[in-house]
Structure formats: structure tokens, C-alpha cells
Structure 1
Amino acid sequence: MVCKTRRRFKATTNSKHELPIAPNYLDRQFSIDQINQVYVGDITYIYTLEGWLYLAVVIDLFSRQVVGWSMAAYMKTHLVNDALQMAIGKRKPGKGLLWHTDRGSQYASESHRQLLKQHGIQQSMSRKGNCWDTQSNMSCVLA
């Protein structure tokens, strides 16, 4: 008989907050015809020699390439803002870019919404508790 050890689950989304939630403009339309039209973002965690680190990624939905990322020992708004700012600096998307994420408090925060407004980016969030709305995000991260 072999005992199976339980893996510890680390939550990466806190959607139980009173912050504004953006509509789901992406609406599972994952077929995009050019770069810099839709970026998707998510947070995952990685165990390293330093302990658990959180990784925020920004993926261009057309090219399926990671265009921005940030890693930290904490999961605060600064983590996702840094990843998005890397993508903006690297790709320089025009106004009207759609930014789709889950409903996590980092993405719904005032400072994140201000960053989007500053760059003319339209925010889109998945439906509550629906991982399929952001499946393109994590399939790239975990691949």
C-alpha cells in the first residue's frame, strides 16, 4: 500500500471583494486575427529554492506568446501591473487593446484600472467561477 501525499492548494484569485467587475467582452472568442488586439492575464505559483513565488503573465491571444511577466513572493496589484507594463513597453499596443483576466482583486483594484485607463486599454473579466472563460491563459502558462 502506498500513501499519496496531498498537495497544498494555493489560491491565486480573490474574487470575494467589493471592487468593480468589468463585463466579459471577450466572451470566449479566442480566435483573434492580429497581434496586440487581445491580451489575457493570469497568476500562477511556482515552488523554487526560495519558496513559493507568484508569477503574473500577459499573453497575446493571437500569437500565444508571453509578452509580459512579473514574479514576486507576494500576490499584490503591483505584481500584475508590472507584468502588464512590461507587455506595454515591449509591444506598444495601440488604444483599444482588450485586456481579459479573472475577477481577482489585483485586476479589479483602483491602481490597475488607472493603469488601463492611462493606456486606453479596455478591461474584460471572466464570469464568476468560470475557469473556461480564461482557459487560454492558463493553457499557455502550464504548457
Structure 2
Amino acid sequence: MVGRDFVAAAPNRCWGADFTHVKTWAGVVYVAFVVDTLSRRIVGWPAATVKGAAFVLGALEMAIGQRERDQQPFRPGELIHRGDAGSQLGLNRSSQHQLPGGIVGAR
């Protein structure tokens, strides 16, 4: 359980996530981001013209890939992910929206 305690003892132990929108001349663009709470580094950041479960889960997939490229992969079961966007996008803990690669979801 993360609650409001976003302090991590090591990299890839606690990631926070959210998304926002930006109005442009061409329309609205949504940007999701995943932050490693220890380093405060943004490790995943997709952009899209529509928001949905795949969009937010894409931020996690990007973060996983980025950390592997940095040779700092997370260990399954050690990483807790906390995001506020779940209820807005219909994400839940059912098998339909499992977090990838052994990431533990927190409220």
C-alpha cells in the first residue's frame, strides 16, 4: 500500500503515474507519464489523441522498456505502481487490465 508515502528505498520500487491533456490548434493531445519516485525521473511518456486503458498501460510498457535499456530492470513483485487515472479510464484489477510483468498495483 502506497497511500501518500511515495518514498522508495531503491530505483524501480515505486512508480507513480497520471495523465493530462494539452489543447492544440489541431485538437486535444493526451500525455501519460510514469515517474520513478526515488529519482523523480519520468520513465514512460506516451502521447495520443484519445485516452483509454491501452494509452495508460502503454506508459507502463514504455517505462519497463526504458528501464531495461538503462540496464536497470525491475524485479517482478518488487515494484508498486500508483496511478490516479484508473477510475477515469475504466481500469480495474480484473484480468482484463492486469498490470504488465509482475507490477503490483496500489491504491
Shorter-chain TM-score bucket reads: 0.7 to 0.9
What is the CA-CA distance between 1:52 and the residue it aligns to? 1.0
The residue aligned with 2:76 is 95
Give me the identity figure in percent.
33
Find 1:43's aligned residue among 19, 23, 34. Answer: 19
In terms of fraction of residues, the more strand-rich structure is 2
Pairing 1:124–2:106 present? yes
Name the amino acid aligned to 2:28: W
**Residue 112 of structure 1, aligned match among 97, 100, 104:** 97
Q: 1:106, CA displacement in angstroms?
A: 4.4
Length-normalised TM-score, structure 2:
0.81
* Aligned residue number for residue 41 of structure 2: 65
> Distance between the aligned counterparts of 2:3 and 2:97, measured in 1?
21
Equivalent residue number for residue 10 of structure 2: 34
Amino acid at match of 2:83: T
The 1:60–1:107 alpha-carbon spacing in structure 2 relative to 1, beyond 3 Å, is farther
Which segments of structure 1 move beyond 4 Å, counting only runs of 4 or more? Answer: none
Q: Number of residue pairs matched?
A: 98
In 2: Cα distance, 1:107 partner to 1:58 partner = 16
Tell me the secondary structure at the aligned position of residue 63 of structure 2. Answer: helix
CA deviation profile, 1:83-123 (whole Å, cap 9, x unmatched):
1100001113111210101242343275432xx2x411110
Unpaired runs of 5+ residues, structure 1, are: 1-24, 126-143
Unaligned regions of 5+ residues in structure 2, if any?
68-72
User: Over aligned residues, Cα RMSD in angstroms?
Assistant: 1.7
Amino acid at match of 1:112: H
